[in-house]
Amino acid sequence: MAKIKGNIVIDTEKCKGCELCIASCPSKVIDAAKELNEKGYHYAYPAKHEQCTGCANCAIVCPDGVITVYKAKI
């Protein structure tokens, strides 16, 4: 059986820092940045991208649709 490797891309300039994606990630891949984006929010970013399983929970709960999830069989 093939394993699934996930990867997420977050549009950090459009992220409003609601942190719903952080709470929904079972692998604890996403974290909030200490820096601010152009809008003045602490944006979400993939801090531990190598642990991503591609479950897409983060993209589903994101109210602004700024997260894209990619999956690959390894």
In the chain, where are the structural domains located? 4-73
Query: In which region does residue 19 sit, left (phi positive, over 0), alpha (psi from -120 to 50) or beta (all else)?
Result: left
Report the predicted TM-score, pTM, of the whole model to 2 decimal places.
0.88
Tens of pLDDT along the chain (74 residues) come to: 668 899 999 999 999 999 999 999 999 999 999 999 999 999 999 999 999 999 999 999 999 999 999 998 88
CATH, range 4-73: 3.30.70.20
> What is the distance in angstroms between the CA of the first residue and the CA of the last residue of the chain?
10
Please say whether the beta carbons of 61 and 67 come within 8 A. no
Amino acid at 52: C
